[in-house]
Amino acid sequence: MSELHTVNKSPFEKSSLESCLGHAQEGSAVLLLEDGVYGAAKGAAAVEAKMKAATGIKLYVLGPDFKARGLSADRLIDGVEMVDYAGFVDLAAEHDKVVAWV
């Protein structure tokens, strides 16, 4: 089965992203939302390295949350795809279950 994992906390404040990536199986997807979107922004070496090490995992970021925080699309880490709420719904439907790393 394939999972959609969601992370809504800043990787600088909480360990949720690290824990999520440590448990996500190959073939699963991770969606960053709310304060979790900071994990998808370029330039923070430590976090960027963790995201890039997540091989075999598809990475997404919730666009509305990314933009709310003053981050524009050109700041996205390569390989992270932006979705809106409708795209979030699609991701939840396409994967067999959703695991929230709250």
Query: How large is the greatest C-alpha to C-alpha distance in the chain, in angstroms?
Result: 36
> Is-contact 6 97, C-beta < 8 A?
no
Specify the stretch interacting with its own copies by CB under 8 A; choose among 6-14, 21-29, 74-82, 85-93.
6-14
CB of 16 to its own copies, least distance (A): 8
Per-residue x/- marks for another protein, 11-40, CB under 8 A?
-xx-x---x--xxxx--x----xxx--x--
Q: How far, CA to CA in Å, does 43 sit from each of 46, 68, 74, 95, 97?
A: 9, 18, 12, 30, 31
Among 2, 5, 7, 15, binds its own copies (CB under 8 A): 15
Interface residues with its own copies (CB under 8 A) are 12-15
